[in-house]
Amino acid sequence: MTRHLLLSTALAIAAIGAALLSGPHRRGALVGAVSSSITALASLLFMQRGARARKPMQAALAVMVVMFLTRILVVALATVVVARGGDSVVAFIVAFFVPYFIFAAIEGAYLNALNRDTGTPA
């Protein structure tokens, strides 16, 4: 397990823990934190799997594109679920996007480390 995956797992636990402590907005925040965490961990796991490919950087970038599109769908569907459930959409958005930007930075750091490990330019 790489340090990037460990850092992402720790962030996922912290985000979900913070969502559980968000009081009356807990359900919307929990949906946001869980969906952001699951997509981020899946993205890193798929990137690690793609690192074994012949062209690891291209495989990792393809994973980033696919997971970005997946996240767009997840945000849309989860927003509808939260809104129809009468929960706080603002709490969902904050709980999804604050960890998402940190997860994106971790994924970028993983790509940078992957590029250094291969020894060839992207």
Q: Report whether pLDDT(79) > 90.
A: yes
Q: Report whether pLDDT(1) > 70.
A: no
Q: What is the mean pLDDT of residues 75-84?
A: 95
Q: Report whether pLDDT(37) > 60.
A: yes
Does residue 16 lie within any of the structural domains? no
Mean pLDDT (the chain, rounded): 90
For the stretch 4-31, pLDDT in tens is 999 999 999 999 999 999 989 999 999 9
Q: Which domain holds residue 75?
A: 26-116
**Residue 49 binned pLDDT confidence (cut-offs 50, 70, 90):** confident
Look at the chain and report how many structural domains it folds into. 1
- Alpha helix positions (H), the chain: 3-20, 26-50, 56-84, 89-118
Does residue 1 lie within any of the structural domains? no
Does residue 80 lie within any of the structural domains? yes
In sequence order, the 6+-apart residues with CB closer than 8 A to the CB of 109 are: 4
For the stretch 62-73, pLDDT in tens is 898 999 999 999
Q: Report whether pLDDT(121) > 60.
A: no
Does residue 35 lie within any of the structural domains? yes
62 CB-side CA count, 13 A: 11
Q: Are 22 and 95 in contact (CB under 8 A)?
A: yes
Q: What is the mean pLDDT of residues 72-92?
A: 95
Does residue 15 lie within any of the structural domains? no
Does residue 49 lie within any of the structural domains? yes
Determine what percent of the chain is predicted with pLDDT higher than 90: 69
